[in-house]
Structure 1
Amino acid sequence: MRKKILAVVLTGILAVGALTGCGAKSDSKDSAKASDDKKITVAASATPHAEILEEAKSLLEKKGYTLEVKVFDDYVQPNNVVESGEFDANYFQHIPYLEQFNEEKGTHLAIAGKIHYEPFGIYPGTKKDLKDIAKGDKIAVPNDTTNEARALLLLQDNGIIKLKDGAGIKATVNNIVENPYDVEIVELEAAQVPRVVDETAFVVLNGNYALEANYTVSKDALAYEKSDSEAAKTYVNVIAVKEGNEDSEKIKALVDVLKSDEIKQFIEEKYQGAVIAYDGE
């Protein structure tokens, strides 16, 4: 009888221990999940995106969130790591590029917030004035589809080339129907364009790469897109997430902070017109 009683007691102790252990494990998982929900991971271009995100960190901390930013120097991996779930969001691209990437790569990325606009500009290379353009001059442009089209449209707006009617934001060099100066369009990966200023007459730069090359629109651009242009709406830079995550609490907190008056003031003071906060929805 004593052996049976002892066995029952031991069984009870083990059962309680097992339940207690399970409870601790569950609490640990819940704690880890809660911690993850308060951490926001964002893949970004260095300038201005990562700089703006750094400014946003303290504002997010006040809301109870920790922001972790990783800088990428290309336009592909930031989308891949969001699609895979490795990162919560990215901040580096405009809407046409996002839409084209989804179409070409079969990804499922969505816009969570429209944050800022970077005027595209024509900057001096070996020549300092567009009036000095001559036969056979070289002009460097980004080679990714949407940004090349944007560069070509800007060249068209300034009378350097003429594109086929309707080419729009999908324009390529094959759509050039008039080239009175017989310019050579040098197509390069966007990050490489600023590096050929000593080899080409002019360069057409994305806003972030212009900043990295120490150019500003107001001081250095020979021509640029205007802040009230259709381009401002078309090429607004966005926070992108995987479809279905647009309305998560931490993503909404991130977007709210990036559209706050504090961040708008930071953008205005730091970039002096090279980056413009987007006021639309």
Structure 2
Amino acid sequence: MSAASLWARRATLLVGFVFLYAPIVILAVMSFNASRLVSVWGGFSTKWYAALLENEQLLRSAKISLAAALTSAAIATLLGLFAAIALARFGCFRTRMLFFGAVHAPLVLPEVVLGLALLTCFVALGVGRGFVTLVIGHVTLTMCFTTVAILAAMRDCDPALEEAAMDLGATPPEAFVRVALPQIAPAVITAYLLAFTLSLDDLIIASFATGPGATTLPMRIYSQVRLGVSPQINAISTLLLALVAVALGLAALVSYWRARRNLQAVKTAAPTPNNAS
């Protein structure tokens, strides 16, 4: 590879990183701006983070978003686990393709269409929109992602190990919990963190599924930004980005730990030269 080609690739990579992450860096830097004008730097200050403690609306919306994300992620991960078990262990049952399509439909549906469908369903059933409908909407959105993550891990598990456990007297649920579940535990954790992040960042589904008493943090930020960008908005957005970054970092660490454990298992199972001879 020539030096010119190498520098061209590095320059392209640098431009891509600047394009993707420069707005995030600017947002984080301006959250420490002492000036009320977000376009003018007035010195370093953390007063806007302190002012967040007195902003009851933002704090209430943040609590609602966290509660909805934690709850919907748990439900979506559990349902995704059940769906992955059905797709990986139940063979080619009659409605498999229909079930597979229904589970993965939110992956290809526009969020506006999904949100409108949820709103129509809630109105037709006479369900008042609030925190419960918000959780239902986020579960509907994130369950497909948890199913994909867990299903990929289950396909790497050897069913013969569960069959051996059942031959030794374990029931099918006991064999799954004791044999398969420890193997897919990193994928389950990754699926939960992914669902948590998607729920915490969601704006479109929440706009259709929630009511006036359950305004999420992205909805609150969007409504206030339309009237002008406040330094407190920069501060709460930076905290939200930090929380999402931590969740994604944990998911990456879990995936790395899983890959490293699988590699170690392969090395352990591989025959040594003495055994091969």
The TM-score bracket by the shorter chain reads under 0.3
Structure holding more helix per residue: 2
Rg (Cα) greater in structure? 1
Structure holding more strand per residue: 1
Give TM-score, length-normalised by structure 1.
0.26
